[in-house]
Structures are given as structure tokens and as C-alpha cells.
Amino acid sequence: MKKTKFNEGWKYWTGSDAFALVWGIAGDAREVTLPHDIMQEKPAYAESKNGGNTGFRDGDIYNYVKFFFADPSMEQETVMLKFDGIYMNSMVYINGALAAKCPYGYSGFYVPLNSYLKYGQENEIRVIVRNGAMPNSRWYSGGGIYQDVWLLRGPMTYLAPEGVQAVTESLDEIAVVKVQTTIWNRSTGTHRLRLITEILEKDGQLAAVQEVPLTVFEGEKRKMTGRIVVKNPMPWSVDTPYLYQMRSRLYEGEELLDENVETFGIRTLALDAVHGLRVNGKSVKLKGACIHHDSGILGAATFLDAEYRRIDRMKKAGFNAIRMAHHPAAPALLKACDELGMYVMDEVSDMWTRSKTDYDYGMFFFEWWEKDVEAMVRKDFNHPSVIMYSVGNEIPEIGTDHGAKLCHEICEKIKELDPIRYTLASINGVFASGDKIPQILDDLKTSGKLDGNVNDFMTFMATQEGKLDKIVTNKIVGERIDMACANTDIAGYNYMTARYEMDGKEHPDRVIVGSETNPPDIADNWEYVKRLSYVIGDFTWTGWDYIGEAGIGIPAYPQEEGGFQAGFPCQLAYCGDIDITGFRRPLSYFREIVFGERKVPYIAVQNPEKYGQPLFKTPWVMSDTLSSWTYPGMEKKPVIVEVYAPGDQVELFLNGTSLGKKASGSKAGFRTLFETVYEPGTLEAVAYEGEKELGRMVLQTAGNEEILEADIQNGKAGELVFVEISNRDKNGIAIENHECNLTCETSDDVKFWFGSGNPKTKYPYITNETSTWHGRALLVVRKTKKDDPVNLKVRSENKTLEITV
């Protein structure tokens, strides 16, 4: 079917009179080009019913309307819409009649149009999104039609959308690709057809072809299966993300009825406790990161340009895998992972039959999970990046009899739809044992805070040295895990590294993945991953910072609010290796060194103004540092320098004077501390392996003259332009400890977002004001006409930066 974007020409407004006499359009309706996140348009405020979950932003009832002319020829066609994602409780009306609904905010769905259209006339498409019940999410959800919309047109006898699926059955000097093609015949009568399937190389050259005859009868849905041999195949992996195209053409006689093109990769998967995970026959350890779906300052609006930039930066930071938390991934994200090379764990949901917030998907899961699982698997099938499915995140009932049965049913449904990929559940042993936690604490002769949520409990227990490990290794937790893992291919452990060795001995065929882990623990965790064949990887929480779950990663000192106590105006989780603008934080370099992907040491400096003060940390915080040696007013004051380094020794120099050598690498947990006093000038770290120098890094004090700089990057698809703005001195040294207010001005017709990584920003991202955070801000421009230049001016208190994008 011909598939075209249907994003332009919409109008929207908020609020609703459900019993209105006239099916009208609000007078204040505004025009918009999708994708669109309405939740961004109301500023955050302290009294939001969603609280810190969404960064103190409200939901509402959203209305979208679009009119389009239905050509009379459409009556002899098959016409439908596809919505990639609407958050949440969406109802689609065509000319006033309900045509489709989807309560889940992360499922794509189709809307057949033929029986609703008025041919030769204007037709109204209206989408009502009921997102006003709060809270309904544990993180920033966004609101409205936040992903692409597509118009699909085809003949009466057509290739079903997402109905052409490719599976690599074997791979050596040749590849055998099984292709299943679904054909619908909506017309009357019988049709004798030819199905031609071509596999094309990246340059368009023909790699293989197959032609088969078939006869379809009135109203029939036919699934055709064929096997095609590809000689000298180029396998897909994260290191060689080679993609083929599969072109399917349906003929009746010499007439081309329908055509479909899919992108796919040739790759095989294997899994066992001895070899771990193998991709194309090679063992792979997953250097993973959990991510949420929001696009930073873009909110929930999903663009290929933003996803491509995010995956590109995560890969350059050392990651080779992501976990989409805690719901199915957007098609745009998977496309970026396919093209750049990134393994994906896709996830069904954050809840099953027990809600985690008052009005979340738990209200609909029991009736809708099969449809939503089908939508997820259908979407993912031809993406080689997707290698496993998590059936749920921290499901409290998963270790009960009925919960284990439901886990089995979901896994079996996935296997029915996709027998190649693997399943797991991301299990939190504390949460899965919730009703038994008092008994476990009593066994340990300790007490805990049981009146909050699981994150509050884990934060509290993290302050009780060793107690959390004792809880997760308790026999009761093990019994609950065994119930859940009886149904899955992989055991997903959230914050349960302490079980790796004991469970490997008790269950010698169990394959384990750290499906969610604390960032500061990566050095210890990675030693387990490297040493234990059955532990296939680690997924940190999180790789990229996100809006919502406000404050969980904010370090705090006395008289400051951090962690889950960080109230308004805190809006970000602030626990990502990379901040919401795409800037790598110190922990990102620490992880890259632990992974063995970086030989050059990295210098991070604890805040000298807070020297000697106790630091409050949640389990998601390692320390409070910047990679900066510019601290005016702190001369001769004590300071602690953290050096992340491989090898076996690291040496630190201050203005050319050695502060000594200390142990580094795995024996030091890859993190070495030096205490010195602050002196402006040069700080240099050198890493050694024996007598061999592995690499060195230099920090210099910035000068007094401040310059505003812009680094302009065009998005992959050409829809967005990213302008990274920074405060620097005349020598290009970043001034990270200085914030300045910025405004953006333009006379051109453009949409832009403006913001920084500041977790407690006072500026909405859709206004023309922001302030730098650690010397940086981000401006994202969406041009109305891609080829026309746009002129902007970014001003600080005493600087003006003229930008053309």
C-alpha cells in the first residue's frame, strides 16, 4: 500500500463538553503539524496532580481535527490511517462515527476508513484524547498525537500493512530467509495472482528473487510462506549494521496491484548458559542502558532526527544496547537503532493487573494486552535491532500463581507471533515479594519504610549497608523469581546483582541479564558480566536523562532537597549518563572506561564549595562532580579530584607538579580519588599499564573573557536542526560553573524548543528563554520549509550570537 505522512493540516484544542449539542470546533483551535506534545504547552506548577511523576505537568482532554477530500476513486481502494502513538485513551471518529479506539498510549493502531468516508466530499477526522485523569504515569508521558500519522491507500486486493515478515533461518556462506506475506482480498470474485519477492542490497542491486502463483477467493486472507537464498550475505550486527530491502509486488496478469518495501537485516540469534547470547554465532555482552521515550526538551514529540541523534551519541559513549522502558518503542527509535547498530530490548508495559498510579494502563491491561502485544511484535518484527522482549517491568504479582500464569500466556503469545526472539520479565525481587517483605525484614532483624513505593523503599534500604543484598538473596525472593522465570527465556534482574552467582549454581541453565541496575555499581556489575557466561549484560538506569520521576538522581547536601524529596521546581530525573540535551556527564566516561571502550583517563572534580559536607545520595547517584578546573573564589581551598582510569596506575599533576601515583583500573574500581587544593592553571591525569602510558587528559582553568558559541548539527532526516550553545573563553575552554540567561529571537516562521539540562529549570522548553546549565544550552529548530534558511539571534546579558540554520 502507498504510505504517506499525514502530519500536516491538523487543528487542536484542549478541554471538552462531552454532552455538547453541536459537534463543533473550538474557537481557540490552533493549527499544528504533528508530532505534537500538548502537555508541554502548560507550564509546570507545584500543585499538579501528576506531581513529580511528569515533572509537575498536567494532563487534559485533547481534541484534534483534520479535514481531507476523499477522491471518488477511493471507493474502489482500501484506505486506512495508522497512528504510531497517541497518549492516552484515544478515540478516532470519522465524520462523527467512532472508527477506532486505543487506551494504551504506546501502541500503534490502524483505522480502516472505507465504510466511514463520503466520497467526492470533505471528510472530518477527529481524535479525542482523554488524558485528564491524573496521575496515570510514573514518568513524563506527554499528551496527544505525539508520533507520526500515516495515510495508507491500496487496491481492494492488497498486501497487508506490516504483513510482510522476514526471518533468517540459517546463516553461513549463504543465508536462508523465510518470508511470510499476508494478502487480503476485499473484493468480490476470485483473483489469480503472482507474488514476486525481491531482496535488494544496500546499493539497490538484486541479491535474490522469488516468484510464486496464488489464487485468492472472495474475502480471503492468505498468508504465503517462502524461503529465499541469499548468497554471500552481509550479516547485521551492532558492528556491521548492514540492511537489506525486501520488495514485494503483487500482480494480476501484467497489472501491478500492490507493492510493499520493508527494510530488514540478516542475522541469527542463539542463547544458552554456556555461550550466553550469540549474534551471528559470536558471543555478545550487552553494554546496555534503559531509556524513557521523551526527547528531552522536545517533550514526548517523537522525531527520527532526535532518535537518531540520541542513539548515535549513546553508541559513541560505549553502549551497544538499549532497553525501552517501560513500554513499546516508537518506530522512529527502532529505525535509528537498525541504521546505526544498537541492540534493543523492547518492553510490553510497566503494569499488568495492579496499577502503579491511579489511572494508568493497569485499568485496561486485562482486556487489551493481547492486542497491544500483537501491535508491538508486528511493529518490531523486521527490525534486526530488536533481539528480546520484556513482558513487563517490576510486576508485583508476577511471582504469584495467577501472575505466573499470565506471564506464561504473554510469553506464549509472543512466541506464537515471533518464535525467533527471546522473552524475559524485568523482575524487582523486592517488589515481587511485596506481601512477604515484612517477614523478610523480620528474618533479618531489621525494619524498613513500608508505606511508600518501591523506589522509596530501595532508597531507604540503600542507606542500610548490605541490607538490600540480603533482602534480594532471601529464599522467599528466590521462590518468587523462580515462579516468574519458569515462563521466560531469560531472567531479567532489576537491582539483584547479589543473586548472579548463587542463582547460576542453583539453576545451571538459567541465562540472566541485569535488566535494570544502579549507575554507580557498573564496575562491580561488569566484572560479573565478563566472568559469568550466563550473565549476558547490564542495563543501567539510565543512559539518557528524562523528564519526570523528578529528582531521583539529584545529589543533595544539608539544607538541600534531592532524590525523591526534590519537589517543585525539579522536573528531571537527573540520573542519566547523558543529559537531556545530549551532553555526556562524568559517569558516562566512567562507564566507557569500565566497558574497556576508552583508554584515556577522565577527570571529574567534586564541588569545592561543598568540601567536607555530607552528601545525600539515592542509589542512582555516584557523586557530585563536574569536569572543570574553573572555581573562582576557591583558591587554596581543599578539593577532591576523581580520576576514572584503566590500566593499573594513574598519576595526577597540578600545574606540572605530580600529586603522586595511585592504583587504578579494576583493582581500584576504575575510580581513584586525589585530595588537593584548588589552584588555577592545569590539572592533568596520566594512566599507565606497568610502565606504558595508556593516555592522558588535561583540564585548564578558563579565562575571564566569555564567548557564546554555537555548534550547528542538521538532523538525519532534515526535519530538525540542533544548535548546541556554550559559554567558553577565548581559547575554547568551557565555563561549566557559570549560568547565564539566554533569549532566542527570530522573524521567520519556525517552531523551536529552547532549554538546558538543569533539573530545576524555571523556563518551559517552548518559550524563547532559558539559562545555561554547566555552561550549555540547546536550541532545536523545526523549519516550516526545509530548504529555506532561518535566521536566529541568541542573546545573553552582554553577548549576541547570530545563527543561520
pLDDT digits (tens, 9 = 90+) for 393-420: 999 999 999 999 999 999 999 999 999 9
* Residue range 482-496, pLDDT digits in tens: 999 999 999 999 999
Per residue in 751-768, pLDDT (tens digit) is 999 999 999 999 999 999
CATH 3.30.70.3270 fits 2-154, yes or no: no
Reference 259, options 186, 414, 155; nearest CA is: 155
Burial of 569 (0-12, 13-18, 19+ CB in 10 A): middle
Task: Write down the pLDDT at residue 436.
Answer: 78
What is the rounded distance in angstroms from the CA atom of residue 493 to the CA atom of residue 525? 12
Exposed (0-12), middle (13-18) or buried (19+): which is 636, by Cβ within 10 Å? exposed
Q: Per the CATH hierarchy, to which homologous superfamily does domain 282-545+574-592 belong? A: Glycosidases (3.20.20.80)
Confidence at 430, pLDDT banded by 50, 70, 90: confident
536 Cβ contact partners less than 8 Å away, ≥ 6 residues apart:
271, 276, 277, 284, 285, 286, 490, 511, 512, 513, 529
For 297-316, the pLDDT digits (tens) are 999 999 999 999 999 999 99
Mean pLDDT of the chain: 94
Q: Helix or strand or coil: residue 402?
A: helix
707-804 and 599-700 share a CATH fold: yes
- Lookup: cell for 409: 500466556
| DSSP conformation class of 798 | S
* Per-residue pLDDT reduced to its tens digit, 138-194: 999 999 999 999 999 999 999 999 999 999 999 999 999 999 999 999 998 899 999
What contacts 5, CB < 8 A, 6 or more positions away?
A: 148, 149, 150, 151
Domain formed by 157-264, architecture: Sandwich (2.60)
**What are the residue ranges spanned by the domains of the chain?**
2-154, 157-264, 282-545+574-592, 599-700, 707-804
What pLDDT is attached to residue 799? 86
Asked if pLDDT for residue 448 goes beyond 60, the answer is: no
Q: Is 90 exceeded by the pLDDT of residue 227?
A: yes
- Which pTM was predicted? 0.95
| CATH number, domain 707-804 | 2.60.40.10
**If residue 783 lies in a helix (H) or strand (E), which one and from where to where?**
strand 776-783
Report the CATH architecture of 599-700.
Sandwich (2.60)
What are 88-136's pLDDT values in tens digits? 999 999 999 999 999 999 999 999 999 999 999 999 999 999 999 999 9
